[in-house]
Amino acid sequence: MSTETTFIRSMFASVPFDTKEANELLRNRLSFFAGIAAATSCFVTLMGIAHARVVGHIDWTTIAWRGSAGIGLAALLPGVAWLILRARAWSPRALAFFDAGIVLAVLAGQATQMILAKRTDFARFDLIIALVSDLLLLSRAIIVPSRPKMTLVVSLLGALPSVAVAFVVGGRLQAAGLEGAAISTPLFGAAWGTGASLLATLASQVIYGLRSKVAASKKLGPYELDEMIGQGGMGAVFLARHALLRRPTAVKLLLPEAMGTASLERFEREVQHTARLTHPNTVAIYDYGRTPNGVFYYAMEYLDGADLQRLVDKCGPLDPRRAVHVLLQICGALAEAHGAGLVHRDLKPANVLLCERGGVADVAKVLDFGLVKRLDSEDTGTTAQFSLIGTPSYLAPEAILSAKGFDTRSDVYAVAALGYFLLSGTAVFEGRTVVEVCARHLTDMPVPLSVRAGDHIPRELDALLLQCLSKDAGERPRDAAELRQKLLACCIAPWSENEATEWWSEHRAELARDAQAKRKSDEVKTVEVDVNAIVRSRTLRSSRTLPGQA
């Protein structure tokens, strides 16, 4: 580790340390502080000159001297620092000099104009500079993120101009006949400056401690959590960064209310099954762990795009060529899972994300394998006997009738229902209640896409999706690999890479704004997940567990 890195680590860094991020935070805060210092210096200087001029104790020559000292040194230098800090990044050592320099420039400028004042201007202008010093040092402690050690150093340096003014005032008071003023006034100024420095250091200590606690609450294993980007019934997903790799990562963690045996088994199953899949259209799992406090989490690749539900809701149904392009990728991901003896069981638009990866647009990623099961497993103990597994609008009839009715053909049904939604903008069957939707899956025949969406839907594609939506599982393709071959056999013109790139260029900003708005909306509708709350919940549950129930 370099000397400069060690320097900023020891003196600054009120966030989990990273040179680039700590520098950026410090630079922004110092720039803000410099702007406030410059504006405050102008105000104090002009008010002092105006007051002295009104009472008639100052001439225009003195105004020029004091104005040059007050505005030139106390305001101009911090103003220049404000411009320089905003212009580009600076090294940690340079930022430290900026920090101390801003404080010294302001207080030295104010002290200089006080020293230049006539004795009659202010009887005790050392108190004025002491007040300005106190306000400036406390403001710095609040605004600038630094360790208490750095705050103490800067504050003691900032107290020196006040002590210098106290020496001048003490000498004048002594000359005016106040015995002992030459000693007592500087001592008072030094004591006042020391007290102000200690108070600023204490404030910095408190704020630094709070920042450290916030940083610790956002740390999960080797990951630093940023903002919540999604929440489901079982887990919450956070945008995070690995402490060393600094790679954007999505971290999913188990919610406190979901920390039962069945949910934990499902959570672990999701990680284990997904981690074994390596298809490029399946979300990649990086890590899985449990913190010392008992919080379960796993880390996966962060995908900055839009799920198919949001994409269709926002932009309307897809071009048939694009829909087939997406379905082929989904089938590829499922084909690997089916080949490994796994079924997804919860395929729906919200669980497929469309994004840009490695400079390639319209890359589909299949998410959320939380309900995945092995075809040769009984799935007892983690699923209630009469519970409904999956999302009603995309459930195959046999899956509605029995939780054990799932097989690869049930996933094929879900892919067809998803394709129907992509092409028409509506679900295959809709109803006012879950029961009504499920009943229609069991009894009603789907409306052909050529009727629902229009005659621009290729007949071969329409017929294939209707075949996949058959009530009889035996009439459907046996798995995703067979469905993929049938999609390729439809002879639909390919969705080109240029078309995909152009589409994303046109809609990328709109989707990003929509995603941000959705996250803000979710914060209003739901209680934000907090890692500390999860830890507390886990601890509380452990303390309530009776012997023999663990």
List, by residue number, the catalytic residues. Answer: 346
Helices (H), 12-147: 19-54, 60-67, 77-87, 92-116, 125-143
Structural tokens at position 382: 């983690």
Q: Cα separation of 447 and 454, whole Å?
A: 11
Q: Cα separation of 295 and 290, whole Å?
A: 5
Q: Cα separation of 253 and 255, whole Å?
A: 6
- Decide if 145 contacts 14 (C-beta within 8 A): yes
Sign of CA dihedral 373, 379, 384, 385: positive
Q: Which long-range contacts (CB under 8 A, 24 or more apart) does 488-494 make?
A: 488/328, 489/460, 490/324, 490/458, 490/460, 490/461, 490/464, 491/460, 492/320, 492/321, 492/324, 492/458, 492/460, 492/461, 493/321, 494/321, 494/325
Q: Cα separation of 252 and 133, whole Å?
A: 48
- Strands across the sheet with 223-231, in order? 219-220, 223-231, 235-242, 248-254, 296-301, 285-290
Sign of CA dihedral 276, 277, 282, 286: positive
Q: How far is CA 460 from CA 247, 450, 454, 509, in A?
A: 44, 11, 14, 35
Sign of CA dihedral 178, 180, 185, 186: positive
SS3 of 207, please? Answer: helix
Q: Cα separation of 142 and 216, whole Å?
A: 20
Structural tokens at position 462: 């329409």
- Strands across the sheet with 360-366, in order? 306-307, 352-357, 360-366
Residue 72 neighbours by CB distance under 10 Å:
16
Residues counted in the chain: 550
Instruction: Using only the alpha carbons of the chain, give its radius of gyration.
Output: 34
SS3 of 381, please? Answer: coil
Q: What is the DSSP letter of 196?
A: H
Q: Cα separation of 108 and 105, whole Å?
A: 5
State the first-to-last Cα distance of the chain, in angstroms, to the nearest integer: 46
Environment class of 116 (CB within 10 Å of its CB; exposed 0-12, middle 13-18, buried 19+): middle
Q: Cα separation of 146 and 402, whole Å?
A: 61
- Cα-flanking dihedrals φ and ψ of residue 229, to 5°? -115, 0
- Decide if 85 contacts 31 (C-beta within 8 A): yes
